[in-house]
């Protein structure tokens, strides 16, 4: 597939609300494969479609060799709270502390349009999913972060 350009802080698309996906076709599948290639090339944990210039409700996350693709995701329930240091491929020079839930229940569609439910009780994965869900609303982690500071050079250089 192909690498997509990651949109950077200051680009308008990162502040817009993503629209639902309506077509579950080869174009969507190609976009998902491009997003996976891009995520891996930049050694990321998650990626939302607006970060590659596509204003659609699509997020991907890879954690502990498990791949998650969520199309038109909806948060059903969340609980708990834990602060974690977050960073973002769209904001490569900064990191900060964000409080996120430790439990999530989500509904979403897969790449074929089939509905599924996802319950997660892992603070790293829930943090990543919440971070990507925020991207679909035009929210960046800096909007919620405290203790914002520069990231060490080796952490934002990509592969």
Asked if 31 contacts 58 with a C-beta cutoff of 8 angstroms, the reply is yes
Q: Which residues are catalytic?
A: 132
Give the three-class secondary structure for 64.
Answer: coil
Task: Please report, to the nearest 10 degrees, the dihedral formed by the alpha carbons of residues 63, 149, 89, 134 taken in order.
Answer: 70
Give the three-class secondary structure for 137.
Answer: coil
CA-based torsion, 113, 114, 115, 118: positive or negative = negative
What is the rounded CA–CA span in Å between residue 47 and residue 24? 19
Burial class of 108 by CB neighbour count within 10 A (0 to 12, 13 to 18, 19+): buried
């Amino acid at each position: 597939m192909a690498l997509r350009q990651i949109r950077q802080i200051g680009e308008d698309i990162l502040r817009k609300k993503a629209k639902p996906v309506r077509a579950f076709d080869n174009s969507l599948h190609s976009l998902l494969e491009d997003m996976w290639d891009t995520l891996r090339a930049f050694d990321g944990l998650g990626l939302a479609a607006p970060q590659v210039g596509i204003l659609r409700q699509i997020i991907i996350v890879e954690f502990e060799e498990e791949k998650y693709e969520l199309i038109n995701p909806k948060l059903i329930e969340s609980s708990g709270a834990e602060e974690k240091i977050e960073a973002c491929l769209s904001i490569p020079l900064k990191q900060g502390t964000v409080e996120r839930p430790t439990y999530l229940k989500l509904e979403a569609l897969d790449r074929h349009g089939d509905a599924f439910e996802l319950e997660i009780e892992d603070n790293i994965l829930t943090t990543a999913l919440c971070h990507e869900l925020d991207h679909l609303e035009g929210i960046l982690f800096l909007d919620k972060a405290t203790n914002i500071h520069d990231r060490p050079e080796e952490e934002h250089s990509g592969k």
